[in-house]
Chains A and B, each alone.
Chain A
Amino acid sequence: MTLLWIALLPLLGVLVPVLTARRGRHFCSLATALLPALALLLTLAQLPALNAGEALRFSVDWIPGLGLDLAFRLDGLSLLFNLLIIGIGLLILLYAHYYLSPEEPFGRFYAYLILFMASMVGIVMSDNLLLLWLYWELTSLSSFLLIGFWSYRSDARKGARMALAVTGAGGLALLAGLILLGNMVGSFDMNVVLASGELIVADSLYPVMLILVLLGAFTKSAQFPFHFWLPHAMAAPTPVSAYLHSATMVKAGIFLLARLHPAIAGSELWSVIVPLVGIVTMLYGAWFALIKTDLKSILAFSTVSHLGLITVLLGIGSPMAVLAALFHILNHATFKAALFMSTGIIDHETGTRELGHLGGLRRAMPVTALLTTVAAAAMAGLPLLNGFLSKEMFFTETLVTPVLGGLSWIMPVLATLGGVLSVAYSLRLVYAVFFKPARQAPPKSPHEPPHLMRLPVELLVVLCVLVGIFPAALATGLLGLATQAVLGEALTFYLAVWHGFNLPLAMSFVAIVAGIALYWRHPYLKSFAKSFQPVDARLVFESAMQCLARRAESGLARFDGGSLQRYMGLLLFAALVMGTLGLAGMGALTGSRGNQPLDGVLLLGAGLLIFGGIGTVLTHRHRLISLLMLSVVGLVVALTFARFSAPDLALTQLSVEVVTMILLMLALFFLPQKTASESSPRRNLRDIALAGSLGTVIASLNYAVLTRDNDPISGFFMENSVPGGGGHNVVNVILVDFRGFDTLGEITVLALAGLAIFKLLNRLRLFMPHSDNEGRLWSPDCYPMILTTISQAILPLALLVSAFIFLRGHNMPGGGFIAGLITAVALILVYMARGVEWVQYRLDFPYQPVAIAGVAIATLTGLGSWLFGKPFLTSAFGYFHLPLVGKFELATAMLFDLGVYLAVVGATLMILANLGKVTTAHRPVKQPASSDTERSTKEKR
């Protein structure tokens, strides 16, 4: 449980700065630091258990179907990283408190920073491959936010985008790799994976998996050739660079290599690819660190170089190499974070980071100068500092490694070369900033920063020195645990400051002397470097991205021309092809059942339908007539349902027909009255052919189905309708009981459509026609007397009918849908007869809540069955006896049906009344003002 808290506390901490940002920066910074500090303490509290050799794990099922568990572990490796992440994170928080200018949104910045911290903690503590990946992606996202924090700057936006693109693509590769890995061992559980190294290496897909996982790790840890995003990520505020690019994000890739080391490292492929990529990265980064002139660029490339060094060590993979790698991770994090923060101080106090504008700062900022010099010396690997120790161990390992077979002698040579470059760029950094006389004055006159801003640097530098002098006392315990976690067994080692005169010491000596010499000859080097055309990775990347986007757009334009009319044609054409293919594969069209006899009524009905359909098409330019034709079809369809023994359908169709027609009439008011003839004859012919062929296909299909015997599942419903659902009307029982869940979905759709329409009508700018096409003005008498009178009489009757239909619905044709429609139609009639204002005055409530209440009642009825331990939407019913009324039935299904009823009434009226309201506002009346007053006086009387 403690493990869960360690992982969750920082995540909860994301909310703290957001909530406390208004209380001022001091309070906010303190409050923000609280939860991570607690997590750090909890982590440290686990030390005794870890030292006792306990395996600390925590696991809860999350999505078992995917193999994703909420599983955390805390072993030596997680501990080492947790200390780095949270410890340095807290220092960064202190530093950022002073770094950000007062007008910057510090709350947001802290929130991003803590989010990043939480996701890093999640990565290092994950005990499940998929969970690890989720956190991995979260670091990509949060680092995107952090790098692009100064979003008004173009370089920040581009740098953030590049980092996200590269690490995001790597993340996808990693996901593929991890899924392959999980499939190989049959589990995503970290313990299982780590224990099945031999099985994994023997798998035929091992190379694919390894490359994918390495792609993820290398993109994250900025290994060549994916290093280019890191220098551009320096557009971030310096606290971010110090955090992400010294201790954490770039170490995530390294961490992954270390974590999965037991599972995937035991192969030839690994021990060739990983050290080679590492050594190339190391030299490449070191070279660019030497020739760049921006302080943060120098540090960025030196980070690339050091990450390469660690990768080499992990690639070599012997126990001592792993130890050296972990030690260097620790050391690099301390001195690089210190250096980044000093750079930030210099930038903050002088206003520039360009080496050319800096110089002689030793006098103005003596303490910062001392701190930076010591940290840079640690980076260069000078004796008595922590960088020296791990670098010596690195040299030792390159001497004994057999990774390149007969060419292995080249490794120590390259390593020494890396050492030379590293000494040279560290020297240059320090000398040019603090000791060389300034060529020009910096933009601001420099002075020492506030003491507390320097405090994190001081702490880290002291750590560099102490670890450099007393390595055995300070680092042995931590590294021992971490190494044990990676190797699976305890390693006995002794970290000594002095190993005697040996080859690694000679290599260090060579590196230092040659590095100083190299810097001495720096001007020559600079002119040599200038003879190459500089390549700006950002330009290359941006143009590649833009090219990709253009290609994608032009490719898409081939399919997506923006014409719905064309899509419709293509869609129908595809349907035609598929339908024809299906029909062509069938034997005889007429099935075994044959035709039932025809009669005159049927012929008349079919004739009317066909007449209406074709009439609608022929008159479609005259929209009103076309609508009338359409209504013929709708009414005959209702009759058809009645003819074929479906009374419920007939009732529904009839009432829907009424509301549909009213709706279309209302809409027609705002749309052109006529359709211009604009399709070319060719297009018309094509459309007729397409529609005609599809009609033929549908007719054939329908005929084929109708003449065949079918074996419906309806028998079940009919048998169980009375005993199981308590209703004699099977259709209604299906709707409210057997398939109640479908109905719930449907009324939800209905309510949503109503709400969507309500929103669409909101602030609609309408064309206001004053007359029809022939120039005749609209009739000014709004509310005809006869209609008004009749509607008033009809309303109570219609409501009564609707109540009757609703109540009998379970046992006779009827039900919530039909009753709802009837109520809606009755109210609409009043609207039409009296106008919106009149009704609104009397029915003063919006319809949205009615529809929502309907859906809510239906849902609650369904939920109610949970109270009795039954599945969702189980219905119950019983028969009761009342004097006078007699035996009657009550069923929960009726409550559900009430929900349906309300949803239908609410949605229908929401649609029509709102549309009507829009109409009324624009209706041209002869003298609007006078008629209004007339009406109101009438009402008063």
Chain B
Amino acid sequence: MEGLYAITTGVLTACGLYLTLRGRTFPVVVGLTLLSYAVNLFLFSMGGLTTDGAAIVDGPASYADPLPQALVLTAIVIGFAMTAFVVILAMRARSEAGNDHVDGREEERQ
């Protein structure tokens, strides 16, 4: 199970990173979103993978580690804010620079 989880995280990371390396803004934003999924999964797993854990503290039962959960929860919300910011930045950049390349200028074609 851990192996599969790790592979999934790795694949998502790789896909996200590949997209962030593209030259146009939209794929980069999508890539960042994908990457943030991967990062959240990664961080979440730092507390170990608990199956059938109790949701709340009430008597002796196994719980998923709450600390990474709390961290990831805020990370998800902030991730949304950042995605939104980057996306609007991309729109603004397109309107200012006249193109949607991340460098603000079209690449010279060889």
Chains A and B bind each other: yes
For residue A312, give the distance in angstroms from its CB to the closest CB of chain B: 59
With A660-B33, A702-B42 as contacts: A696 and B84 at CB distance below 8 Å? no
- Whether the Cβ atoms of B2 and A703 lie closer than 8 Å is yes
CB contacts under 8 Å to B, within A389-440, are none
- The answer, among B5, B21, B42, B64, for a CB contact under 8 Å with A691, is B21
| Interface positions of A from 517 to 572, Cβ below 8 Å from B | 562-565, 568-569, 572
B69 touches A731 (CB 8 A): yes
* Distance to closest chain A CB from B1 (angstroms): 4
Give every chain A residue within 8 A of B109 (Cβ-Cβ): 678
Is A637 close to B, CB under 8 A? yes
Check A617 against B19 for contact (C-beta < 8 Å): yes
Partner of B84, one of A731, A821, A911: A911
Least Cβ–Cβ distance between A626 and chain B, in angstroms: 6
Taking a contact as CB atoms under 8 Å apart, the answer to whether A649 and B74 are in contact is no
Which residues of B in the span 10-27 have a Cβ within 8 Å of any Cβ on A?
10-27
Closest Cβ of chain A: how far from B33's Cβ, in Å? Answer: 6
Report the bound CA distance from A739 to B109 in whole Å.
52
A699 to B11, CA, bound (A): 8
The contact string, 1 if C-beta is below 8 Å from chain B, for chain A 731-762, is: 10011000100110010011001101100110
Whole-angstrom CA separation of A57 from B81 in the bound complex: 54
A residues within 8 A CB of B6? 699-700, 702-703, 706
Number of A-B contacts defined by CB within 8 Å: 301
Total interface residues on B, CB under 8 Å, equals 85
| Bound form: Cα–Cα A893–B61 in Å | 25
Q: A449: CB under 8 A from chain B?
A: no
Binds B, one of A59-67, A380-388, A707-715, A783-791: A707-715
Cβ contact within 8 Å between B5 and A702: yes
Closest CB-CB distance, A98 to chain B, in whole Å? Answer: 51
| Docked CA distance A627–B63 (Å) | 34
Contact residues, A557-604 vs B (CB, 8 A): 562-565, 568-569, 572, 595-598, 602-603
Q: How large is the interface on A (under 10, 10 to 19, 20 to 34, 35 or more residues)?
A: 35 or more
Interface string of A840-873 (1 = CB under 8 A from B): 0000000000000000000000000000000000
Q: Give chain B interface residues in 21-49, CB to chain A under 8 Å.
A: 21-27, 29-30, 33-34, 37-38, 40-42, 44-49
A113, B72: Cα distance in complex, Å? 55
A139 located at the interface, meaning its Cβ lies under 8 Å from any Cβ of chain B in the complex = no
List residues of chain A with CB within 8 A of the CB of B85.
753, 756-757, 760
Partner of B41, one of A610, A637, A707, A728: A637
A731-B70, A915-B88 known; A640 vs B41 contact (CB < 8 Å): yes
A364 CB-CB contact with B under 8 Å: no
Bound CA–CA A121/B14 (angstroms): 63
Docked Cα-Cα span, A568 to B24, in Å, equals 13
Q: What per-residue 1/0 map shows which CB atoms of A596-632 lie under 8 Å from chain B?
A: 1110001100100110011011001001001100100
Report A-chain residues with C-beta under 8 Å of the C-beta of B30: 616, 620, 623, 626-627, 630, 664
Q: Is the CB of B55 within 8 A of A702?
A: no
A474 at interface (Cβ–Cβ under 8 A)? no
Given contact pairs A646-B69, A649-B72, A907-B81, A617 touches B26 in the complex (Cβ within 8 A): no
A729's nearest neighbour on chain B, judged by CB, is B56
By a CB distance below 8 angstroms, the chain B residues around A598 are 1, 4
Q: Is A152 an interface residue (CB 8 A)?
A: no
Which of A156-164, A298-306, A508-516, A668-676 sits within the interface? A668-676
**Which residue of chain B has its CB nearest to the CB of A605?**
B8
Which residue of B53, B69, B82 has the most chain A CB atoms within 10 A of its CB atom? B69
CB distance from A912 to the nearest CB of B (A): 8
A603 and B95 form a contact (CB under 8 A): no
- Nearest A residue to B110 via CB reads A680
Nearest chain B CB to A158 CB, angstrom units: 34
Would you call A694 and B8 a contact (CB within 8 A)? no
- A672 B100 Cβ-Cβ under 8 A: yes
Least CB distance from B46 to A in Å reads: 6
Among A610, A653, A706, the residue within 8 A (CB) of B49 is A706
A640 to B9, CA, bound (A): 12
Contact A696 B87 (CB under 8 A): no
Answer whether residue A688 sits at the interface, using C-beta atoms and an 8 A cutoff. Answer: yes
What are the residues of chain A within 8 A of B23 when measuring CB–CB?
A: 565, 678-679
Bound-state CA distance A710–B30 (Å) is 33
Tell whether, in the assembled complex, residue B22 and residue A679 are in contact, meaning their CB atoms are under 8 Å apart.
yes
- Nearest-neighbour CB distance to chain B for A681, whole angstroms, equals 12
Interface-facing stretch out of A48-56, A274-282, A716-724, A877-885: A716-724
Contact A671 to B26, CB < 8 A, known contacts A598-B4, A643-B51, A817-B74:
yes
Contact B49 A644 (CB under 8 A): yes
Distance in angstroms from A143 CB to nearest chain B CB is 40
B4 and A698 contact, CB distance less than 8 A: no
In the complex, the chain B residue whose C-beta lies closest to that of A641 is B44
The closest CB in chain B to the CB of A918 belongs to B91
Specify which of B2, B45, B94, B110 lies most central, judged by the most chain A CB atoms within 10 Å of its CB: B2
A478 adjacent to chain B (CB < 8 Å): no
Shortest CB distance B100–A (Å)? 6
Find B10's partner among A595, A630, A676, A699 (CB 8 Å cutoff). Answer: A699
B28 to chain A, nearest CB (A): 8
Q: Which of A26-34, A227-235, A251-259, A764-772 contacts B (4 or more CB under 8 A)?
A: A764-772
Hey, which chain B residues are within 8 Å of A705, CB to CB?
Answer: 45-46
A730 beta carbon closer than 8 Å to chain B? yes
The winner among B13, B77, B92 for most chain A CB atoms within 10 A is B77
Q: Are A713 and B67 in contact (CB under 8 A)?
A: yes
Does A609 contact B33, Cβ atoms closer than 8 Å? Answer: no
Inter-subunit contact A610/B8 (CB<8 Å): yes
Q: Are B83 and A742 in contact (CB under 8 A)?
A: no
| A656 with B67: CB separation less than 8 A | no
Q: Which of B26, B88, B109 has the most CB of A within 10 A?
A: B88
Q: How far is the CB of B6 from chain A (nearest CB, A)?
A: 4
B62-107 with Cβ < 8 A to chain A: 63-67, 69-70, 72-74, 76-85, 87-92, 94-95, 100, 102-103, 107
Q: Does A647 contact B (CB under 8 A)?
A: yes
Contacts of A729 in B (CB 8 A): 55-57
Interface string of A632-655 (1 = CB under 8 A from B): 011001001101111111001100
Query: CA separation between A766 and B98, bound complex, in Å?
Result: 10
Expressed in whole angstroms, the Cα–Cα distance for A672 and B103 within the complex equals 16
Q: Are B14's CB and A695's CB within 8 A?
A: yes
- Give bound CA distance, A821 to B102, whole Å: 30
Q: Are B17 and A572 in contact (CB under 8 A)?
A: yes
Residue of B nearest to A810 (CB): B56
Smallest CB–CB gap between A729 and chain B, Å?
5
Contact check, A728 vs B56: say whether CB atoms are below 8 A apart.
yes
Residue of B nearest to A645 (CB): B53
Complex Cα distance, B65 from A775, in Å, reads 53
Chain B nearest Cβ from A435, distance in angstroms: 67
Among B11, B44, B58, B110, find the residue whose CB has the most chain A CB atoms closer than 10 A.
B11
The 8 lowest CB-CB distance pairs between A and B, nearest first, are A699-B10, A695-B14, A645-B53, A703-B6, A753-B81, A691-B18, A730-B66, A691-B17
- 12 residue pairs from A and B, CB less than 8 Å apart: A613-B34, A623-B26, A633-B34, A645-B50, A667-B91, A675-B27, A691-B18, A692-B18, A695-B14, A722-B57, A729-B56, A911-B88
Question: Which positions in B face A, CB cutoff 8 Å?
Answer: 1-27, 29-30, 33-34, 37-38, 40-42, 44-58, 63-67, 69-70, 72-74, 76-85, 87-92, 94-95, 100, 102-103, 107, 109-110
- Chain A residues proximal to chain B, CB less than 8 Å: 562-565, 568-569, 572, 595-598, 602-603, 606, 609-610, 613-614, 616-617, 620, 623, 626-627, 630, 633-634, 637, 640-641, 643-649, 652-653, 656, 659-660, 663-664, 667-668, 670-672, 675-676, 678-680, 687-688, 690-692, 694-696, 698-700, 702-703, 705-707, 710, 712-714, 717-718, 721-722, 728-731, 734-735, 739, 742-743, 746, 749-750, 753-754, 756-757, 760-761, 764-767, 811-813, 817, 821, 904, 907-908, 911, 915
Q: A613-B12, A694-B17, A699-B7 are in contact. List 8 more A-B contacts (CB 8 A).
A: A598-B4, A613-B34, A620-B27, A645-B55, A667-B29, A679-B22, A692-B18, A699-B13
